[in-house]
C-alpha cells in the first residue's frame, strides 16, 4: 500500500457499511482496496461534484457506485449505493 496516505470514511459511509452483511462487507473491502491502490484510475466528476471520483463494482448482482475524494495526503470515502438517485444524494450530502 502507498505510504504517507490516510484512508478516511465519512459518517454516512460508516452508517451504510454497518448495515451490510458479512459477504457484502467483504465485497466492499475489495472495492476499497482497489481504490487505495489505484485512486487515479477513476475519472473525476465535474460541475457540482467536482473532485469526486466514482468507482463502480458489483454487489449481489447489482451495480454499486462508491464515491471518494483524493486529497493531498488522504483518500476520503464519501458514500456508496445503487445508481438510483445516487448522484442527487451525493450532491446533497456534500
Summarised one tens digit per residue, pLDDT across range 43-64 is 788 888 888 999 999 999 999 9
Residue 59 lies in a domain: yes
Cα gap 33→48, rounded to integer Å: 27
Instruction: Tell me, yes or no, whether 17 lies in a domain.
Output: yes
Is pLDDT of 80 > 90?
Answer: yes
Closest CA to 31 of 84, 85, 77: 77
Check which CATH number belongs to the domain holding 63 and give it. Answer: 3.30.2310.20
Q: What is the DSSP letter of 73?
A: S
Mean pLDDT of 87-91: 88
Residue 38: the pLDDT is 86
Query: Counting every residue, how long is the chain?
Result: 94
Asked whether the beta carbons of 78 and 93 are under 8 A apart, the reply is: yes
> In terms of residue numbers, what domain contains 47?
6-93
Q: Is 31 strand, coil or helix?
A: helix
In the chain, the DSSP E strands lie at 6-9, 52-59, 62-70, 74-82
3 pLDDT above the threshold of 80: no
What average pLDDT score do residues 16-28 get?
Answer: 94
Count up the domains in the chain and report the number.
1
Establish if 45 belongs to a structural domain: yes
Q: What is the pTM of this model?
A: 0.85
Whether 1 is in a domain gets the answer: no
Amino acid at each position: 500500500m502507498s505510504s504517507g496516505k490516510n484512508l478516511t470514511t465519512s459518517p454516512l459511509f460508516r452508517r451504510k457499511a454497518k448495515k451490510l452483511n458479512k459477504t457484502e462487507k467483504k465485497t466492499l473491502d475489495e472495492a476499497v482496496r482497489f481504490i487505495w491502490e489505484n485512486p487515479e484510475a477513476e475519472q473525476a466528476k465535474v460541475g457540482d461534484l467536482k473532485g469526486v471520483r466514482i468507482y463502480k463494482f458489483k454487489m449481489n448482482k447489482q451495480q454499486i457506485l462508491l464515491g471518494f475524494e483524493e486529497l493531498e495526503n488522504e483518500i476520503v470515502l464519501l458514500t456508496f449505493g445503487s445508481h438510483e438517485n445516487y448522484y442527487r444524494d451525493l450532491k446533497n450530502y456534500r
